[in-house]
Each structure stands twice: as C-alpha cells, then as structure tokens.
Amino acid sequence: MLVPTTPPTPDSADMATSLDVDAVLAQLTLDEKISLLSGIDFWHTAAIPRLGVPTIRLSDGPNGVRGTRFFDSVPSSCLPCGTALGATFDTDLLRDVGHLLADEARAKGAHAVLGPTINIQRLPLGGRGFESFSEDPTLAGLLAASYCQGLADKGIASVPKHFVCNDMEHERMAVDVQVTARAMHEIYLKPFQIALAEAPVPAVMTAYNKVNGVHASESPYLLQKVLRGDWGFDGMVVSDWFGTYSTAAAANTGLDLEMPGPARFRGINLLHAVNANAVSKKAVDDRVRNVLKFVSKAMGAGIREHAPETLLNRPEDQQLLRRAAADAIVLLKNEQSVLPFSPVKSTVVIGPTARIATYCGGGSASLNPYEAVTPWQGIEALVQAQGPLEFAQGVYGHQMLPLLGKSLKTVKDGKTGFELRVYNEHPTGPAPQGETDVRTLVESRHVVDSNMFFIDYSHPNLAKNGVWYADVEGTFVPEISGTYDLGLAVQGTAWLYVDGQLLVANAGPNQKPGTSFLGSGTVEETGSMYMEAGRQYNILVQWGCSKTSQLKVANMIDFGHGGMRIGGCRRLEVEEGIAQAVAAAKAADQVVVCVGLGSEWETEGEDRVTMALPPNTDKLVAAILAAAPNKTAVVVQSGTPVDLPWVEQCPALLQAWYGGNATGHAIADVIFGAVNPAGKLPLSYPRRLQDLPSHINYRAEAGRCLYGEDVYVGYRYLDRAGVEPLFAFGHGLSYTSFELGQLSIDATSNNVSVTLDVANTGSVSGSCTVQLYVAPPAWEPRAVPALPQRPTQELRAFAKVHNLAAGAKATVTLTLDAVRDTSYWDETDDAWCSRAGVYGIRVGQSSRDAKAVEGTLTVEKTTYWKGLKP
C-alpha cells in the first residue's frame, strides 16, 4: 500500500500512482467505507486522506469533456455527435478521438470520461438518439471499443453508458422496458459486450429505466448474472446521475457508486441498513473494493486532486475535429454530379441553420465549445471572395427563440454578453432610474451564454435555505427595425423588462411544463414589441431559483437550483422570407440550403413527436427546388433521420449531423470538394415513421414499454419485411466510384479471413467503406429442434480504405470469428448458439448494395457458449 506521510493535495510534489486495494480496505472504518460509495458533489468521489485515497473527478461526456461546470464552463473540444462518429465506420478515427478526449480530460482535471453512449436507436425519435453510434450493435460496439481504447492509451478511464435499454426519454426514470432475453443479448447488451471484450473498460454506468420489472441499477439479472457472472466484469458500476432508487437492493445487487453526491440512498441510510442486517458487511466490502480499484486505476493518470480546469485547443486538435466532422458527412444523393460546387461561381446560402451553429444536441452531452462554426462561416472562409457569396434567411427553424446572449452588450463597458448579478433577496422590480438596488450583491460576473443551467452553481454567501435570485442585464441594439419577439424558459421564475417595462412573465401558478432544462423546466413564454434600428434598449431579466416556482414536473429529476434561457429575434413573415430566398436562388449559379434540427429539438429529457423538420422548412425547400432545380444542394443537420417530402426533387442531399466545433468548415469542405465524402449511414433512413415497427410502442404506456419488434431493429426489420427504406443502412455516395472484386474466404479453425480487392473506378481519389454481412442458414419451419427465425443478414465486420487514388486498387481483409459471428441467443439454453450449417457472406457498400459480392461459410458443428467471447 502507498501511504503518503502527509495527505495528498493539489500542490503535492509526489503523487501515489496506485493503491494496495486489499490493504486499504482492511484499514477502513465502516463509516469510511460507506463514504466511498457515493459522490461528495456532482463530479467527485470521496477521499480518505489518511490512507492515501484521493478524490477522483468524473466528467461528461460522449462528445466532449465539459469539466465540472454546466454553468459558465471552461470551453472544450466538441466532437461530432455519436451518430456522426458512427457514420465514419472508422475505428482508427475513433481511437484518435479517444486520444483527444483523454487530453481534454487531463486539461479539465478529470480522471474519467462518462462515455461513450452506446444505446440503440430503435426509432429516429429518441431525444438522445444523436448521442449513440448506431442502430446496429456490432458497429456501435466496435466503435465504442476504439473510443475506450483511445482513452486508455493515455491513462484516462472510460465509462460506457447506459447499461441497458435507455433508448428513449419518455418517463425514463420510471418506465419498465419489457424485452425478450434474445433481443436483450443480440441487440441491447451486445455493444457493451463487444466494448468490454475488446478494450480496457474500468467502469460501466447503469441506465435510469427498469428492465423487465427491475430498475437497471439494482437488477440481479443485469448486474450479477450478466455483467459480473457471464462476462466476468470486475470493474466499477456507477449509477447514472440520480439513477439510484434504493439503499439495500442496489448495494446488495452490485451498484458500487451512487452519483451524484451528497448521498441520497447511501450515507446514514446505508449505515442503518448494515446495522439492521439488510446489507451485509461483505456486500459493503465488495462495493468498496470495486470503487478502490477504480480509484487506483485513475491515480495512474497522474492528475492531481481538484486540478484547475484549463484550455487545450491545439492546432492538431482543430485539424482532427475538422477531419472527423467531414468524414462523418453522408452524401445521400448527387444526381448529375451537381456536387462538388465551384468556389469561383456565385453562391447563395439559404436556410434556418445556415447562420446558426448546430454543433451539438441538447442535454448532458452539450458543452461550451472553443468555437462553433456555422455553415455560412465555413463557406465564407473557404470561398474567400473567389466568387460572389450571398445569404438569405428564408424561414426560421427554431423551437424556442434564438439565444440572445451574444447579441447583448454589457451596460458598463460594452462587452459582448451581459452582467449576471446574484442576490439572496427577492427583487421588487427594476430599480427606478437613478436609484441603486437595495439588495445585497452576492456575486457579479460577465456571461455570454444566455442559456444558464445552474446545476452546479455555488457560492459561499448563498442563503442557507437554498433560495436565491439573479438579475441579467444588458443592452440590445437592433440592426433592422421591426417587431422583435423575446422569450423566457425557466426552471424557477422570471420576469423580462425592456427599458423598465414588463414584457414577459414566466412565474405563478399557471407555469407550463416544457422541454427546457432536461425536461424539468417550462415552455418558453414570449412577448413582442416594435424596435427601431440603431436604438439602444435595456434588457433586464429578474429570475428566482427553482424553489420559487410552484411547477413540479412528474417523472423528471429535480436538478436543484434551476436555470433560465433568454431568447429573441426579429419576427420574419414566412411568405416574405421565402420569396426573398427564391429570388436569391434564381440569381445565383449555386444554391446551398441549410436545414435541420438542433439542441432544442433533439435533447435529453424529451423525445420528438414526429420526424418532421421545423415548421415551414419543407415549404422553403420545395420552393427553392422548384425555382433552382439543377443547381441546389440541401444540407440536413440532425442527429437522427427526418422527413424529406421533397427528396425526389432534390438533386444533391447531404446528411451533416451535428459536427462539433468545426461543423461549418466540414460542410464547406465537402460541398466544394476539398474533401470527398465517405460517410455511411449508421442507421436506416425510413420513408416514413410507420415503416419501423417500434413506432407502435415508443413511449411509456401504463408505466411500461414493450420492445415488440424483438431483434428486428432498423435494417433487420426492413430486410425481413421487404420494406424499401428511403436510404439504406450503410448507404453513402462519393464523388468517385468503387468496384469490389470477388471474395476469397479462408477459414482456419474459428478464424475466418475474407479478402477482396477494392478498385477506384472514378476520376478522383476517395475513401471506401466495405461492409460484411452474415446471412443465417435457410430457415426450416419443421426443423428439429425448432429453430428461431433470424434476420436475413447482420453486419459483422467493416473496413475503410482511405484516400484510394483514381484508377488504383487496394486489397482488404475482414476477419470473422466463425462461432461468435454466426451465433444467436438461445433462450431455451440461456446461452449463445452457433448452429451448424452454411452461412452466406455478403460484402458491399451498403446493406442494400445490388453489386455486393457473395460467398459462403460452413460451420461444421453446433457450439454453445457464454462470456464476452466464445
């Protein structure tokens, strides 16, 4: 055991790099043991200084490391969202991403990253669908393994989540997911199984929901039988934040760490349970041992306790982020080679997302990026006056009014943003002109982001009863005269004044629940007034914390202090905006239309109701396509598929996802041919929502959600039912063309090598992703024993050939495990089963590739197995 002579501090010169876990465990008191089983705050574990056990910092998240603050956080690298990374089909890139995340974690003083998110997208409506990689468990699992390996390479711990079946947001804390054992293993557990088998994973985060009647964080089946038993996992199991629901059941079943702190179910409650023999001391020791092993591993990173949070933002990181975002973009259509555009021709950029940086989805995955490049900014930087460039708004696409913070200036010194003033006393309205506020100021700070979530805000002078208030004040100068809408969404209460006159109130008994603040806040209340261009207006918002509100949202987490969101913009009449956009499109040589969703539409805490784009978006696109039919490219930014009713008239279509910091640069790179697109769809793009069976049961009903589609998720169902998707799983075009050669299949024992040539038959270099699908033996309804039906094909391997020159050829080898990759979950024998028979091998450039090359693989004997691997 390493026991420092003095307690470790952030300034200690010598830091222990590991613990003798059993020796430390033997010296801990019961109180100390129990203290280690819950966090001390939102992000940190407990320390035992006398035994050299340091506090460990965890941080979100799946697409970037936030650090320790939601409110006014230190900027960080924001990666492309999960589906975007999934679209790369590139395990090497994901390992590079893991390396960057590890460096960002170190810069933020974090020992562990809460990610990746590897739940399954059963339907395109999931509020957090953008966080996950794919509808396919093999793709999700292999990418997750590379992500985790990248973190491990640099000493940072990964915490894959959410184990398991947290695949929608509706009533996520309470819903009982009812799923067969077969679907559980083949679809929902499999990404975790692959990640744990292929990479060092020291911890797993449990899901909020119930699975087959029991909350995941206290499920004997999930935690004891599968994770600890069948898989032999000896790492730490941590709850999702506020995802612990019991004291004894969770401790006895195997939940090691309750987060966040201070404890709600542990602490004195767990001590009482131990004293009452409801939880054995052995169970406590088992939990503590797992926490200590995690702490010991985290110590190896050499990150000091309570390390300050710093900026990274290196040039090489910026290059990686731009490459990852561009590699993720999927070229869905390109009729008559409309793309790439020329930078010297006249171009107009149109649409609701053109000048908005839709770089990330909403919720705990969101963070404060070093930069957030809009498509307009990216195109403007690339073109650099080579050709005329114009902009037309067309229509708006926001759900709530655009954030106002960057349009404000501070009253005192004219800085971009506003002044935030914190008080313990209730406001009585704006102070009369010339008079000062009589309240006692707790703190004043300069803030730019007007979406303020005070989850982790603290100040030593805040009132002990937890009731406090804040004022936001800044000036606004309109560029154009017109009617302006201003809005407030809050968790708490708030009033918005313009030049001392009340314009918006969001308070009182009639507050309405909405999607803001992870589903715990209100709808946006709005007000409007005419504003003159060039005139300065004083904007004052007076806000009270969540305890001042009577609104309590059922089945949602109370995140404590609450938050406020201040938005506003000039009102735009739809017909006028579309007419202006159509005129601009007719006059230009090339038209880029930017549409999509964003962090309001796709966010933690709320699922989408439909696949539709925001109101009036389809009307705008249809009008542009009618006016400029052969020179328009439409760019869709969303984390999951959307309805595209105008798709048949659209010659060029790009799915650009949420691309992180470099979103706009990546879009420009692909549109103008600096990057040849190579992304592939990691989930099926249905023609309509009803084409996927899960649309029938994608919400909690009577407290439960039946996974009635069983193993037939995404392309598995579309293939089995013979339903034609709009764009197939794995689909993605290029500015060049590729041809696949014949297969050579070499099976030695269980190791199978599938080799083929890939030829670039086009005129420019490009990257090609080959996908290997395995088809089961022909199903015989009267077979003995009776065998289950299986999907017609399942992805089992993939490989990416990078930058293959025009006219060049490359040889690709994909590997299979003959037992693992032909197996299904046999519910009768409670094990994986590789059934003897002849399996089809199909390699193509999508799941529906008509030019796929085929072969067969013969499995000589039936094998049953359990564990992470056969």
Distances from the Cα of 837 to the Cα of 820, 822, 823, angstroms: 14, 10, 11
Are the CB atoms for 410 and 471 separated by under 8 Å? Answer: no
**What totals of helices (H) and strands (E) does the chain contain, helices first?**
16, 37
Q: How many Cα atoms occupy the beta-carbon half-sphere of 53 within 13 Å?
A: 26
Cα–Cα dist 451/470, whole Å: 14
Sequence-ordered strand ranges (E) for 398-439: 408-409, 418-423
∠476-477-482 over CA atoms, to 5°?
Answer: 105
- Say which residues have a Cβ less than 8 Å from residue 372's Cβ, sequence separation at least 6: 78, 357, 359, 661, 663
Asked if the peptide bond before residue 8 counts as cis, ω within 30 degrees of 0, the response is no
Contact 204, 238 (CB under 8 A): yes
User: 413: exposed, middle or buried (C-beta count within 10 Å: 0-12, 13-18, 19+)?
Assistant: exposed
Spatial contact of 496 and 566, defined as CB atoms under 8 Å apart? yes
Identify the active-site residue in 90, 240, 618, 826: 240
Structure-block tokens of residue 682: 């990691």
Q: Can 821 be counted among the known catalytic residues?
A: no
User: Measured between alpha carbons, how far is 21 from 306 in angstroms, rounded to an integer?
Assistant: 22
Region of 337 please: left (phi>0), alpha (psi -120 to 50) or beta. left
CA atoms within 13 A on the CB side of 56: 29
Burial, 295: exposed, middle or buried (Cβ in 10 Å; 0-12, 13-18, 19+)? buried
Terminal C-alpha separation, the chain: 37
Q: Name the 3-class secondary structure at 361.
A: coil
What is d(CA 425, CA 431) in angstroms, rounded to the nearest whole number?
14
**Are the C-beta atoms of 864 and 831 separated by less than 8 Å?**
yes
Alpha carbon separation from 479 to 77, 393, 541, 597 (Å, rounded): 32, 15, 22, 26
Contacts of 316 (CB under 8 A, 6+ apart): none
What does the alpha-carbon distance between residue 240 and residue 243 come to, in Å, rounded to a whole number?
A: 5
With beta carbons less than 8 A apart as the criterion, state whether 162 and 114 touch.
no
Rounded to whole angstroms, the Cα distance separating 251 from 177 reads: 22
Give the DSSP letter string of 713-739. -THHHHHHHTPPPSB-TT--B-SS-EE
**Cβ of 345: how many Cβ atoms within 10 Å?**
14
Active site residues: 240
